[in-house]
A and B are shown apart, each in its own frame.
Chain A
Amino acid sequence: MITINGAAAPLPDDPRVSLLDFVRDHLNLTGTKKGCNQGACGACTVLVDGERILSCLALAVQYDGRTVTTIEGLSANGTMHPLQQAFIEHDGFQCGYCTPGQICSAIGMAAEAKRGVPSHVSSDLSARAIPLTGDELRERMSGNLCRCGAHNGIIAAIRAVYAEQAQ
C-alpha cells in the first residue's frame, strides 16, 4: 500500500508503472504533470515523506509504505496553500503546466534550507540555517524549468511565503 494525499491505495501489479503514471492514470490525480519524462524538467515533482522527488524517475513499487503528497493534497477544504495563492498574486506562471511541480518543489526546498542543507551557491558549508537569498532560491529551484519564463514571479512568490527564511 501507498498513501497518497492521506488515502491508502494498493500498489500497481505491473512494476513498470512510474509513480507519475500511477497518480495520474491510476488515481486520476492529474495535477502532477508529465513534462520530459526523463528527469530534466521537474514538472512531475511530488513530496514523499516531505522530500521532493521526481515521480517520473520513480517506480511506484519502490515507494511501498511511503506517504506521497501531490498538488491536490496541498489545499484543505477548498482553501489554497499559501504558495498557491502567492503564485497567483506574483504572476508565478503563464501556461501553468510547470506550476504543480514548482509548488511541491518549493515546499521541499524550504524544508531543506530550514534544516541547513547547503547549496552550490552557499558560501559557508558550516552554516546551520541558510538564508534564502535570491541566488539561493534560483539555485535551489533550478530543477524546475518554466518555458514561459515566469521564473522571476516564481521566486517572488516563494520569497513572499517564506519571508521569515528569506533575506
Chain B
Amino acid sequence: MNPFDYIRAADEGDAVRRGLAENAKYLGGGTNLVDLMRETIEAPRALIDVSSLSTAIEAGADGSMLIGAAARNTAVAEHPIVRTRYPLLVRAILAGASPQIRNMATVAGNLLQRTRCAYFYDEDGSRCNKRSPGQGCDAIGGINRGHAILGTSKACIATHPSDMCVALAALGAIVHVRNADGERSLLLTDLHRLPEDRPDRETVLRHGDLITAIELPPLPFATRSAYRKVRDRASFAFALVSVAAAVQLDGETVQDIRLALGGVGTKPWRAWKAEAALRGRPADIESFRAAAEAELADAKPLANNGFKVALAQRTIIAVLNDLTGRT
C-alpha cells in the first residue's frame, strides 16, 4: 500500500473542502477501497474519512425516506420502516456480501464500489482499460463467465457488482451530492456511466463531489416487491443474475412496474424496455416472457457468459410470477 495522509472530516463542509485536495479520496467503511489500495490499484495521497456524515434514516410523511450517506448497510436492512415500505431494498442488501462486511460498508460507499473483474484486480498480469485507460481488455477474450452482457463496449465488459444498487435503480432513488460550490441531486440511474471508450470513468461525479444522502421517493406499490439473486453458491457470492421488481396490479392488468437487473450490466441495470412492454398489459406469462425478451434483445454475450441471457429472462419471469401470485 502506498503512503497517504489520513484525515477525519469533522462534518460535510469540512469533508468537501478537504476532498478538493489533489488525489484525495473519500473513505466510507473501506471494505472495497482499503482492499484496492492494498493491491495498489487505488493509490490516493489522502484519505478523507467521512464516517462523520449523517447515519440517519428518516421516514417522510409522504412515504419517502432519506438515508444518510454514512448509514451502514445493516442499519438500512434492519430499519423497521424500510422493511415495511421497501422490502426489495432490504432483500437486496441482505443478499450482498457477508454480515461483517454489511456492518462496515456505508450506503454511499456501496454506490461507488468498483468491479470485481479479476482482470481489473490483476495489475501485474492482465491488461485492463478501467485500471489503465488505453491498455486493452483481457476479459473480452478471456474467462468472462461472470462478465456483463448489457451496456458493454469494445473497451470493457466489467459487471457492476452491487446488489443494493439494483434495488435502488428499480426504486428510482435520488442521490444527493455536495461539493465546494453547493448541492445537487441526480437519479441513481444517471450516476453510473456506461463504459464506452473510457471505462475508468465510472460515474458522473467530479473530483471533490461527495454523496451525502440517498433519497427513496414514495412508491406505495413497493410493498409488493422482491429481489431474487442467482449465484454459484447459496451465500456470500456475487450475482450471476439478479432481479429487483415491484408490481402494481389493476385486476389482471399490470398498472405499473419497476424492474432492474444485476449481474448482467456494466451499471445497475434499470429494465426500461421490459417495464414499457408490461405497463397496461395482462399480468400473465406471455407478457412477462415478451418483456424479458425485449430487455435482453440487445445483450452481447461472449464465449463464457451466453447462459446469462436465458438465465436473466427466466429469472425475470419467475420473479414476476411470484409477485403476481402465479406460482
Contact = CB atoms under 8 A, between A and B. Distances in A.
Contact of B74 (A58, A117, A143): A117
Given A52-B103, A62-B51, A118-B83, A16 B74 contact: no
B4 A58 contact: no
A118 B227 CA distance: 14
A16 B101 contact: no
Contacts of B78: 112, 115-118
Contacts of B255: none
Interface stretch (A23-31, A36-44, A67-75, A85-93): A36-44
Contacts of A77: none
Q: Is the interface on chain B under 10, 10 to 19, 20 to 34, or 35 or more residues?
A: 35 or more
Interface stretch (A1-9, A119-127, A152-160): A119-127
Nearest to B2: A16
B316 interface: no
Nearest to A141: B99
B98 A142 contact: yes
B100 A53 contact: yes
Given A59-B34, A120-B235, A126-B84, A15 B6 contact: yes
A116 B83 CA distance: 11
Contacts of B74: 112, 117
A136 B78 CA distance: 16
Given A15-B5, A53-B103, A38 B35 contact: yes
A105 interface: yes
B40 to A, nearest CB: 12
A142 B235 contact: yes
B101 A143 contact: yes
A95 to B, nearest CB: 21
Contacts of B104: 53-54, 57-58
A146 interface: no
Contacts of B6: 15, 59, 61
Contacts of A140: 99
Nearest to B31: A57
Contacts of B94: 118-120, 122
Contacts of B91: 120, 125
Contact of A57 (B1, B35, B90): B35
Contacts, number: 101
A67 to B, nearest CB: 15
Interface in B90-112: 90-91, 94-95, 97-101, 103-104
Nearest to B104: A53
A103 B91 CA distance: 26
A120 to B, nearest CB: 5
Nearest to B1: A16
Contact of A45 (B77, B90, B100): B100
A98 interface: no
Most chain A C-beta atoms within 10 Å of own C-beta, residue among B6, B29, B47, B99: B99
A139 B91 CA distance: 13
B160 to A, nearest CB: 18
A61 B1 CA distance: 15
Interface size, A (range): 35 or more
A126 B1 contact: no
A126 B29 CA distance: 27
A126 B83 contact: yes
A109 B101 contact: no
Contact of B98 (A42, A115, A125): A42
B29 to A, nearest CB: 8
A100 interface: no
A16 to B, nearest CB: 5
Contact of B34 (A18, A51, A138): A18
Contacts of A39: 31, 35, 101
Interface of A: 14-16, 18, 37-39, 42, 45, 51-54, 57-59, 61-62, 64, 105, 108-109, 112, 115-120, 122, 125-126, 138-140, 142-143
Lowest 6 CB-CB distances: which A-B pairs, in order? Answer: A143-B98, A15-B6, A142-B235, A117-B78, A125-B83, A120-B94
27 contacts: A15-B4, A16-B1, A16-B3, A18-B34, A38-B38, A39-B101, A54-B31, A54-B100, A54-B104, A57-B30, A57-B34, A59-B47, A62-B27, A62-B49, A115-B78, A116-B78, A117-B74, A118-B83, A118-B90, A118-B94, A120-B94, A125-B90, A126-B83, A142-B99, A142-B234, A142-B236, A143-B100
Interface of B: 1, 3-6, 8, 27, 29-31, 34-35, 38, 47, 49, 51, 74, 77-78, 80, 83-84, 87, 90-91, 94-95, 97-101, 103-104, 234-236
